[in-house]
């Protein structure tokens, strides 16, 4: 089952397309990292997924084909927005009561037990809680709805490292214990590398990279060799991004790890952060099927 599926999806605000020709599917059971620069369309994609916006073009469905925003879809999706919206003058207990009354399904016992474990008093006003506690309260309210898909928009951006780690540990526990699928937007690439196993990379409103992270990493590697030979090998390799360091060049290429290494060059595996940054620096590149080694693939990277 796919927890999210888009076909030709687009969203336009006035004359500006925030998202365009987006076609992708996210299988259930993953922590999916949604990555991209500011203005790439990440929040727009999440808003479309949870029904807070209607598409200008294309179709978006969730939870195995339910129309995004439908009652059936909303019952199975929980959303934590970037600013973890809470009523500052209400207590944590009041927030539980309010959320329970606004939703058809809410596990109050789970919510109260979890807040007690976190040391968050039910009588404390949310405006007096720390940033980490507010984030945990918002996450608790979302998980108490027992969703099948948890959507998180930059939930850890303003948190310190300890609060960020604790937040993500809760997300992983929910996934392991309750089978919750997670769609997570974040700029913290190091954190995503630790928790995510599926990647969507957006740039300028278009999907650049999509797939299981292990498969993506296995199909890319970094080649280091003489800068003077970049032109010679660049026409034989599918280069995503290239940079120069004095006499050496570093080429991130898309090809199997067992492909032959050019004479005089060294090959190294890449991590998620290195892969994502390479594609973000080369907006025209895409981790999609393309020319194989030796078939005239043109380099898409630039020398820096």
In a domain? residue 297:
no
Q: What is the pLDDT of residue 147?
A: 95
153 in the same domain as 25: yes
Domain at 235, CATH number: 3.30.70
Among residues of the chain, what percentage have pLDDT more than 70? Answer: 91
CB-based contact 20:32 (threshold 8 Å):
no
Which pLDDT tens digit goes with each residue over 71-84?
989 999 999 987 77
Reduce the DSSP state of residue 61 to 3 states and report it.
Answer: strand
In a domain? residue 262:
yes
In a domain? residue 26:
yes
Q: What is the pLDDT of residue 194?
A: 85
154 in the same domain as 71: yes
**298 pLDDT above the threshold of 50:** no
61 in the same domain as 25: yes
Q: By C-alpha distance, which of 217, 212, 216, 231 is closest to 271?
A: 217
Which pLDDT tens digit goes with each residue over 168-198?
898 898 888 889 999 999 887 877 888 899 9
14 in the same domain as 98: yes
- Range of weakest confidence among 40-44, 53-57, 254-258: 254-258
Q: What is the pLDDT of residue 191?
A: 79
Domain at 93, CATH number: 3.40.50.300
Q: What is the pLDDT of residue 293?
A: 35
250 in the same domain as 172: no
85 in the same domain as 141: yes
219 token code pair: 């199909």
248 in the same domain as 153: no
In sign, the C-alpha dihedral spanning 121, 127, 133, 135 is positive
CB-based contact 92:135 (threshold 8 Å):
no
- Range of weakest confidence among 25-34, 58-67, 251-260: 251-260
- Mean pLDDT, the chain, integer: 86
**109 pLDDT above the threshold of 50:** yes
Q: How many domains does the chain have?
A: 2
Which pLDDT tens digit goes with each residue over 266-293?
999 999 999 998 998 876 666 543 333 3
Q: What is the pLDDT of residue 284?
A: 64
CB-based contact 210:200 (threshold 8 Å):
yes
Q: How confident is the model at residue 258 (pLDDT cuts 50, 70, 90)?
A: confident
Q: How confident is the model at residue 234 (pLDDT cuts 50, 70, 90)?
A: low
Where in the sequence is the domain holding 267, given as residue range(s)? 219-280
148 in the same domain as 225: no
CB-based contact 199:210 (threshold 8 Å):
yes
CB-based contact 122:93 (threshold 8 Å):
yes
CB-based contact 180:149 (threshold 8 Å):
yes
Distance CA 105, CA 96 (A): 12
């Amino acid at each position: 089952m796919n927890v999210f599926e888009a076909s030709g999806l687009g969203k336009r605000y006035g004359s500006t397309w925030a998202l365009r020709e987006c076609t992708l599917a996210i299988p259930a059971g993953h922590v999916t990292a949604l990555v991209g620069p500011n203005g790439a369309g990440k929040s727009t994609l999440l808003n479309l997924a949870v029904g807070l916006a209607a598409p200008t073009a294309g179709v978006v469905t969730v939870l195995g084909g339910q129309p995004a925003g439908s009652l059936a879809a909303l019952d199975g999706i929980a959303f934590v927005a970037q600013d973890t919206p809470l009523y500052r003058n209400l207590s944590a207990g009041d927030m539980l009561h309010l959320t329970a009354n606004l939703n058809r399904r809410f596990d109050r016992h789970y919510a109260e037990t979890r807040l007690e474990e976190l040391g968050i008093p039910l009588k404390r006003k949310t405006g007096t809680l720390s940033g980490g506690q507010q984030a945990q309260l918002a996450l608790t309210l979302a998980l108490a709805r027992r969703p099948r898909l948890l959507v998180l928009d930059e939930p850890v951006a303003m948190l310190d490292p300890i609060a960020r780690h604790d937040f993500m540990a809760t997300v992983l526990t929910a996934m392991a214990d309750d089978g919750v699928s997670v769609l997570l937007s974040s700029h913290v690439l190091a954190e995503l590398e630790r928790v995510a196993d599926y990647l969507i990379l957006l740039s300028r409103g278009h999907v650049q990279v999509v797939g299981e992270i292990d498969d993506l990493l296995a199909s890319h590697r970094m080649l280091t060799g003489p800068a003077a030979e970049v032109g010679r090998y660049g026409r034989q390799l599918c280069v995503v991004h290239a940079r120069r360091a004095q006499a050496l060049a570093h080429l991130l290429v898309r090809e199997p790890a067992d492909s032959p290494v050019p004479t005089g060059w060294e090959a190294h595996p890449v991590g998620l952060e290195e892969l994502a940054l390479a594609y973000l620096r080369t907006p025209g590149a895409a981790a999609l099927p393309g020319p194989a080694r030796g078939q005239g693939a043109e380099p898409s990277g630039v020398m820096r």
